[in-house]
Amino acid sequence: MKRVVITGMGAITPIGNDIKTFWSNLIHGRSGAQRITKFDPAAFRTQIACELKDFDPSLFLDRAEIKRTDPFTQYALGAAAQAIQDSGLDFSVMNPYDTGVIWGSGQGGMLTFEEQVKEYAAGNFIPRFSPFFVPKLIANMASGMISIKYGLMGINYTTVSACSTSNTAIMDALNYIRWGKAKVIVTGGSEAPITEASVGGFCAMKAMTVQNDTPQTSCRPFDVSRDGFLMGEGAGALILEEYEHAIARKATIYAEVAGAAMTADAYHMTATHPEGEGACTAMRFALEDAALAPENVDYLNAHATSTPVGDISELKAITKLFKDNTERLHISATKSMTGHLMGAAGAIEAIASVLAIKNSVIPPTINLTDPDPAIPAGLNIVRHEALEKRVDVAMSNTFGFGGHNGIVVFKKF
């Protein structure tokens, strides 16, 4: 199989709308949480989230593109534009069928759906839907718009596996290039879930934090006082490229995508398996795919959403797999700063993992002041401050409603 490397990255996140700002805020432990401003959250159980700051779609799209796209597509186009520019690719000299897009979004155009249904109801249920309603709503439109904008005519589709969505997209991109079906794939994920319906739905499930008075410390992975996840929004994009193609054009290479795997818990609609059975097996399969052993892993970016059951089940899974090899392994939960970007989480955390390799710095888990006594002994969780450490291999975990477990492994090039 062909080797696959990362040659470009782009980020639109609650703690920075470019890679440099995102990474700086991540390693300095800065939270993106605040009271929701997109609508009045006073009637909701959870009134805080990690919103984007100062995102200007006109930097990436013209007026017509902004009008006919939902925010989740706008975020995707913004992150993809950064990644493509970062990669130095010149699509004009490439066969357009050699380059594709595999993108992810868990919810798609939720805001568009809400706005149009409200308008329908306000008009006494007289149909007056926008002709852009369906194109703005459907989850595959982000991948479609990226391909249209850059003339990329190869493989093109969207993955949906809840909060494992981005890792599913990255895994698929890895395999298509391995199989010789593409030279370059733009991959990643985007989500724009901070809407009344989405927030209301998760509030009804009692899945989100209610520490409304202290938003910046409300997301507390592994802490005994954690009470639910904090919603985030944005996008992450990565350029996956065939090794030989990247070398031939003298591309800058961030890291190699070593392996990936997925499993299903087959357990519950929304809860992870309490003992982390599926998660442990997915991590093991991903390492086998990468031809690596647990003792080779230096850094693990945990899914760790700050939920009471999910955080501990993941640590149990890690302990089962790594057993006596946890001394070298360092773990952190970057959602403590970015919030949970849902279908875009994997892409953003993949970027964090790759930057940890590139910069020999592991970002911290903030707000972890009183570790849960249920945390298995012997685990090195990076708390409060970033850790300078050589990282040769990094693993990024994602788990989604429906029992989806998606793991990606990166290694130093």
The least confident of 123-127, 168-172, 363-367 is 123-127
The angle, 0 to 180 degrees and rounded to 10, between the axes of the packed helices 345-359 and 19-27 is: 80
Query: If you average pLDDT over every residue of the chain, what do you get?
Result: 97
* 128 or 134, which is more confident: 134
**Average pLDDT score over residue span 330-352:** 98
Structural domains of the chain in order of their starting residue, each with its CATH number = 4-248 (3.40.47.10), 258-411 (3.40.47.10)
Long-range contacts formed by 323-326: CB under 8 A, 24+ apart: 323/294, 325/294, 325/295, 326/378, 326/379, 326/380
Q: Which two tokens stand for residue 304?
A: 């760790």
The angle, 0 to 180 degrees and rounded to 10, between the axes of the packed helices 277-289 and 308-322 is: 50
Quote the pLDDT of residue 279.
97
Q: Assess whether 303 carries a catalytic annotation.
A: yes
Cα 215 to Cα 50: distance, rounded to the nearest angstrom: 9
Residues recorded for the chain: 413
- The catalytic residue among 203, 273, 280, 303 is 303
Quote the pLDDT of residue 394.
98
Quote the pLDDT of residue 233.
98
Percentage of the chain with pLDDT > 70? 100
pLDDT in tens, 89-102: 999 999 999 999 99
Quote the pLDDT of residue 327.
82
Q: From 173, 135, 147, 189, select the one nearest 12 (Cα to Cα).
A: 189
DSSP state of 66: H
Element (H, E) at 18: none
Quote the pLDDT of residue 168.
98
pLDDT in tens, 52-73: 999 999 999 999 999 999 999 9
**pLDDT interval class at 326 (50, 70, 90):** confident
Q: Which two tokens stand for residue 65?
A: 């593109």
pLDDT in tens, 164-220: 999 999 999 999 999 999 999 999 999 999 999 999 999 999 999 999 999 999 999
Those residues whose C-beta lies under 8 Å from the C-beta of residue 335, and which sit 6 or more positions away, are: 219, 221, 229, 230, 232, 303, 304, 305, 306, 345, 349
Q: From 306, 348, 113, select the one nearest 218 (Cα to Cα).
A: 306
DSSP state of 208: B
Prediction pTM value: 0.97
pLDDT of 401 > 90? The answer is yes
Quote the pLDDT of residue 339.
98
Q: Assess whether 163 carries a catalytic annotation.
A: yes
Those residues whose C-beta lies under 8 Å from the C-beta of residue 331, and which sit 6 or more positions away, are: 299, 300, 302, 315, 318, 365, 379, 380, 381, 382
Q: What phi and psi values does residue 289 have, to the nearest 5 degrees?
A: -65, -35
**pLDDT interval class at 382 (50, 70, 90):** very high
pLDDT in tens, 211-267: 999 999 999 999 999 999 999 999 999 999 999 999 999 999 999 999 999 999 999
- The catalytic residue among 163, 203, 219, 280 is 163
Largest Cα–Cα separation, the chain: 65
Residue 44, amino acid: F
**pLDDT interval class at 270 (50, 70, 90):** confident
Cα 208 to Cα 199: distance, rounded to the nearest angstrom: 9
Q: Assess whether 404 carries a catalytic annotation.
A: no
**Average pLDDT score over residue span 108-135:** 93
Collapse the DSSP code of 229 into the 3-class scheme (helix H, G, I; strand E, B; otherwise coil) and give the result: strand
Element (H, E) at 362: strand 361-362
pLDDT of 128 > 90? The answer is no
- The catalytic residue among 245, 273, 330, 340 is 340
Residue 398, amino acid: T
pLDDT of 285 > 80? The answer is yes
Percentage of the chain with pLDDT > 90? 95
Cα 210 to Cα 207: distance, rounded to the nearest angstrom: 9
**pLDDT interval class at 324 (50, 70, 90):** confident
Quote the pLDDT of residue 267.
93
Quote the pLDDT of residue 155.
98
Q: Which two tokens stand for residue 377?
A: 């002994």
